[in-house]
Structure 1
Amino acid sequence: MVQGLDKSERARRRQAAASLVAAPPAVDLTAVALTWVDTSGITRTKAVPFKRLEEAAEWGVGMSPVFDAFLVDDSIVSGRYAGGPIGDLRLHPDLERLVPLAAMPGWAWAPAERFTQEGTEHSLDARWLLSREVARLAARDLQVLTAFEVEWAVSKGDGEDFVPACTGPAYGMTRIAELSDYLRDVMRALEGSRVSVVQIHPEYAAGQYELSVAHEDPVGAADTLVLVRETIRAVSFRYGLSASFSPKVLADSVGNGTHVHLSLWHRDSPEKRSNLMAGGDGPCGMTGQGEAFTAGILEHLPALLAVGAPSVASYMRLIPSHWAGAFACWGLENREAALRFVQGPLGRRDQAANLEVKCFDGAANPYLALAALLAAGHAGLEAGTVLPDPVNDVDPAMLDADEREARGIRALPASLEESVAAFEADAVLREAFGEAVIDTVAVVRRGEIALFAGATPERIAAAVRRRH
């Protein structure tokens, strides 16, 4: 984790960039796209010629801080800590993640870290916030491994209407056959950009697919999610298609989730680590620390939705009996629980056991969402929080209200207003993020609430369809 940009750190970055320019990858590179994700979950960018990478690495590229206050439609709100025309930041590429964009020949990509002109970390930079949460866990000899599942819907053409690019049945091989060249090129492009794809398959909704990648450290996983989405988008454009990662592409259909898989590991030695989600005597084989980490996330789920399900459209997706995880409960392989515990196959659980967060979606800033999850899990560790009984046997929606109450099953917020209120009231997230982040997230969320006030579900779905 970088602690500011002093003279030696700037020199180190310049030298690293000089080495890349002197011995570039085995492809012809013209430009490098530097990306960050704003509060509304939109990936923003500035680009530099590849030959100017040394200057960008040392001194950064100018960018207004106003983007922290952008809404999903590019309108701007103003809060105490973001918004307005004053100020400037510097985007510095993380050169360790720089890769050629196989889907965009001549281009490379690197995630950007945002610093002030004085060389200190920008307090609203979500990538830095996530790095800080990773470091807090590392101080306890703990590490989280993370991977995102990416769902997207493919539409024919670039018009405003959504026209499914495939018509075969849900999960059907027909959908692979219909777009086999496209899906092949998506996987080739990801491989060419050093992404390890685990699996790909047709999903439930019209024109919908899902792709899973290998787990990484949290910052790496968030970086990879950005790279995966932009690669899919670029390949789609080349086929005359458009890809939507929106939580609600069509008002009357299921939406796109972006499920998060997390496992907590202890660093036994520099060469060895052990999975705390398995091998213990706690629920479903968790260790005490694995249980406490999971329980912390469960306890703070209503507030976490303000960053994990951050759009008005998110709550059109987050409804019961749609496998979206609309209830704050956990269960072994229960896809209607907000937290699905995955043990993995017998004989591999020491490696495979993990927690899946099902209620998060494609409008989330992945860095901010993971930072919030880690902060909640860390709070559970500090408090030694224990889990309630799992919900393994039933869709919570099938229980009456009295039985849900008796079993400690809560409905998650049904609107963005409710989740923002929970977010602002959450002492753990306020301490982890600081007042500037809490205020800015709340201002942006309320800006979107006002933007879509009185709008029909159809209008909301159409408005966000091309944005995420």
Structure 2
Amino acid sequence: MSVAPAAPVRAADLVVLVQETIRAVTVRYGWETNFGPSVLAGQVGNGRHLHLSLWRDGVNLCGGGEGPSGLRPEAESFLAGILGELPALLAIGAPSPASYLRLAPSRWTGAFQCWGPENREAALRLIPGAPGRAETANAEVKCLDAAASPYLVAGAVLAAGLGGLERGERLPAATAGDPADLGEEQRPARLPSSLTEAVARFQQSEVLRAALGDPLFEAIVEVREAEAALFAGYSPQALANATRRAY
């Protein structure tokens, strides 16, 4: 389900509104809604992807430029910042141990740290937009799920992008097709495959620490470590069963 674009806080509000509306409708009809990242271990789970675009003076900087896939320089730097921080961002955007049951290769989840135009297996997918309509171009962060706070996700992704913009970063070469099908030398790096690994990468992120502040940053670390310890030793299906109704 997609919703219209909005400013960051309003967009997070809309996520909450949509989720609660879905839940209310299903209850009315006697159904059950599960927003947990994994319902059946080993199968495709529930994602909550983030679409975004960067604008200045009414112009969408994600289209109509001469950079990769029509990106303007500022948008390329912004997206490069997000791409570089993705392993750390998972501690916020994929915050449940069950998130990593979902975040597997070849399941449209974006399990590899790469980007590509219209590549649904890339963690950062660029949608160039309709021909002649640069204002419709946007990027999609695919490796997120509904266990995350949409407010923390919006803030953390913005911080990562602004960091890339300040440093003038550039994107690496785009990845075409499923990265899992590439040879080892061509395959981009795998994103963290466990919450413990994601937390370790999060703790190394100076960008996210500066944006969140020490108290919130350390609280996130402690909560994630406690969650990982709580479910240590669970089988994949037991983990899915224990968490799929929690969100």
Shorter-chain TM-score bucket reads over 0.9
Of 225, 238, 252, 2:42 maps to 252
Of 189, 197, 202, 1:418 maps to 197
> Cα distance, 1:245 vs. partner?
1.1
> Cα distance, 1:384 vs. partner?
0.1
The whole-number CA distance in structure 2 between the counterparts of 1:336 and 1:347 is: 26
Partner of 1:428: 207
Output aligned runs, 1:257-406, within 5 Å.
257-266=47-56, 268=57, 273-348=58-133, 350-392=134-176, 394-404=177-187
Code of the residue aligned with 2:197 in structure 1: it is E
The whole-number CA distance in structure 2 between the counterparts of 1:224 and 1:427 is: 30
TM-score between the two structures when normalised by the length of structure 2: 0.98
> Cα distance, 1:378 vs. partner?
0.3
The whole-number CA distance in structure 2 between the counterparts of 1:307 and 1:331 is: 23
Q: Are 2:228 and 1:445 equivalent residues in the alignment?
A: no
Code of the residue aligned with 2:211 in structure 1: it is A
> Cα distance, 1:307 vs. partner?
0.3
The whole-number CA distance in structure 2 between the counterparts of 1:391 and 1:294 is: 15
Partner of 2:246: 467
Determine helix, strand or coil for the equivalent of 1:453: coil
Stretches (4+) displaced over 3 A = none
> Cα distance, 1:403 vs. partner?
2.2
Determine helix, strand or coil for the equivalent of 2:20: helix
The whole-number CA distance in structure 1 between the counterparts of 2:154 and 2:3 is: 16
Deviations 1:215-241 (A, max 9, x none): 100100000000110111011111000
The whole-number CA distance in structure 2 between the counterparts of 1:378 and 1:414 is: 26
Determine helix, strand or coil for the equivalent of 1:397: helix
Give the aligned CA root-mean-square deviation in angstroms. 0.8
Code of the residue aligned with 2:181 in structure 1: it is M
> Cα distance, 1:260 vs. partner?
0.3
> Cα distance, 1:253 vs. partner?
1.9
The whole-number CA distance in structure 1 between the counterparts of 2:181 and 2:170 is: 25
> Cα distance, 1:252 vs. partner?
3.1
Code of the residue aligned with 1:396 in structure 2: it is P
Code of the residue aligned with 1:334 in structure 2: it is N
8 A Cα contact 2:79 2:164, kept in partner: yes
The whole-number CA distance in structure 2 between the counterparts of 1:429 and 1:252 is: 31
The whole-number CA distance in structure 2 between the counterparts of 1:356 and 1:252 is: 24
> Cα distance, 1:465 vs. partner?
1.4
The whole-number CA distance in structure 1 between the counterparts of 2:244 and 2:189 is: 30
Q: Which has the higher contact order (CA 8 A, sep 6+)?
A: 2
Determine helix, strand or coil for the equivalent of 2:2: strand
> Cα distance, 1:317 vs. partner?
0.5
> Cα distance, 1:371 vs. partner?
0.6
Greater share of strand residues, 1 or 2? 1
The whole-number CA distance in structure 2 between the counterparts of 1:430 and 1:260 is: 21
> Cα distance, 1:280 vs. partner?
1.0
The whole-number CA distance in structure 2 between the counterparts of 1:382 and 1:388 is: 17
Q: Could you tell me the percent identity over the aligned residues?
A: 56
The whole-number CA distance in structure 2 between the counterparts of 1:459 and 1:242 is: 19
8 A Cα contact 2:42 2:101, kept in partner: no
The whole-number CA distance in structure 2 between the counterparts of 1:412 and 1:260 is: 17
Q: Are 2:1 and 1:217 equivalent residues in the alignment?
A: no
Code of the residue aligned with 1:452 in structure 2: it is F
Determine helix, strand or coil for the equivalent of 1:431: helix
Deviations 1:287-309 (A, max 9, x none): 00000000000011100000011
The whole-number CA distance in structure 2 between the counterparts of 1:293 and 1:344 is: 18
> Cα distance, 1:311 vs. partner?
0.6
Tell me, which stretches of 5 or more residues in structure 1 are unaligned? 1-210
TM-score between the two structures when normalised by the length of structure 1: 0.52
The whole-number CA distance in structure 2 between the counterparts of 1:288 and 1:351 is: 16
